[in-house]
A and B are shown apart, each in its own frame.
Chain A
Amino acid sequence: MANCARILLNAKSHLSTLAVALALPALTQAQGDEEWVMPRTEYGYPDIQGNWSNATITTIQRPDGFDKVMTPEQIAEIEGERQQVIEADAAPSDPDRDAPPEGGYWTGNPVWDSASGGSGGYNYFYIDAGDRVARWNGEPRSSLIVDPANGRFPPLTEAGKAEIAAAEARSESDSQYDNPESRPFGERCILSFGNNLGPPMLPNAFYNNNYTIVQNRDQIMIMTEMVHDFRVIRLGEREPLPDHIRPWFGDSWGRWEGDTLVVETSNLPHRQINSSRYRVPGGTEQIKITEKFTRVGPRTINYEFTIDDPAFYTASWSGQVPFNKMDELVYEYACHEANYSLFNVLSGARAEEAAALESEED
């Protein structure tokens, strides 16, 4: 039990430290930044290397009734409530508790509950989704999308709507449990779920929203902790790929415009663009994504993106996501290592089929 007591003590210390930090005026950071000088590589380009995180409570789209910039009261409420969720999950449980209720245990968070199907995950046993709203140049934001001005995805074209409908039909089909290849990429440990590496690189609502960036004169490598995905961005004049060659994460080429790294990506595979619909609605093979990375301080990269796909969206759309420096390692996430879950999912489907047959025979 000494273990447990120590864990509780450390957790309280953590929460206290966080509370003090939240109360610090933004001025402190600003004063620190005034003395900051852009670090540069031996080739003279801004140095954006290191470990970074884009975890945040702020959602991709803006909820109804919010302005672009949140008020101090809204921040206090939202960050405070997330903290309450964390603390509630950390509080001791009754050792004489019953099993959870039949029919499902629901957290009240639709994203987490959608993934768990009421089976009890995900709570903060599993989740590491950030506990602060995104602050862009110190401005607390209510959405990551900044264009359209309402902070929402633009309306879809008829083709876009048809694509969504077809995907929904596939996801409701019994055949989705037929074999490993019919399961989603994330479940098969092929791609990170939730668009972490993108493009665009968006935080997921669960965990592993961490990145390592390495650069040399000719290339930038970005690796995300989620499923250990990485992409290599070549710098210079694009050498176009044939249309039928579509590597995971597309074909990214970058250039320095002043101190901003501008990256343009094309040739994304259709099945990847449309595999993480909860972060990005989807797209066609003509989708083009422009990303901008600007280091604005010792601990921040401002990351901006614009999506152009007129066949899928009625307008282009853009977002802004701050990346915060991490003072720790990004760990290997060798997802295939012990992916018992895929076996469990397929085994469960076979058991349900057998039970249904038995029921019919009765």
Chain B
Amino acid sequence: MSFGGEVTVITEPVVWSLITAVVKSIILISVAMFHVAYATYFERKVIGHIQVRMGPMRVGPHGILQPIADLIKLFFKEDIIPHQADRPIFYFAPVISFVAAISSLSVIPFYRDWYVANINVGLLFILAMSSLGAYGIVMAGWASNSKYAFLGGLRSSSQVLSYEIAMGLSLVGVMIMAGSLNLREIVEAQTRYPYGMFAIPQILGLFVFLVAAFAETNRSPFDLPEAENELVAGYFVEYSGFRFALFYAAEYIAMIVMASLLTICYFGGWTLPPVVIEIMPFLSVIPGIVWFVLKVYFFIFLFYWVRATLPRYRYDQLMAIGWKVLIPLALLNIFITGTLKILDII
């Protein structure tokens, strides 16, 4: 009889944590999708104004409803599958891309306790997920049975693989300084310093991470996998309707994830530098989520800003930057950080 009781004792917290996880995930996904929709709008507006245009203006005041119109359009578009496409893979590829992108959001602490999962290898999880996203791209390129998609997929896979290394190595500096892979602990480790962010001691790592983040998310100036003027749209040329939207969303979520990772690993996440708090103590009244969101928005803006400024790199230049500049720089950064850590200076 006690057996039944035992089961309830065990299952209740499991069920409860399952429910909270599901609720949290739903909230997170809906907020993330809202951000994705408005990130596209924001991008078009920012790039428009930088090019002395206006961007979308027609749907609603100043085009504010444009993403909703786009979404409705994508829903009702015909779902076209190329004649000799590898159907199962073709169906599956956007799902992989999207799932990989959105699951990295689950480990990001937006505020002290605002996360879906607080795992002790959060940083590794995000790196793993962003590499997993490349599978979606490669599979899409392969399954489309189109030369443009195939070239896009190939370029993307080699690019993501190359820059993955640089990115991982650049984060090693952060790991050494924080002594943890848990993103929350990384943020808390930064508050131990008066300047409150790793961006200052890890300036080299920050640079490498920033460049690698652009390449990792296939954003300009490293947007070779989807170079419009060479490959039409790259790996998702043959996709239409909602599958296309999944790829698109994955790209923007990856951008948000990279912006969040930058904020968390180098700019103190939701915290403000203790120096600033000391000068202006009233700022500590504002909840940390505001600072986190502002920082993330700034980095998303940076993505657009760079896109509006820089032309695309050539493929050999891309590889040269990755292997000959970023990786040695990241290794140097690890060496310096490690030495300083051993000498107990930082």
Whether A associates with B in a native complex is: no
- B interface vs A, CB < 8 Å? none
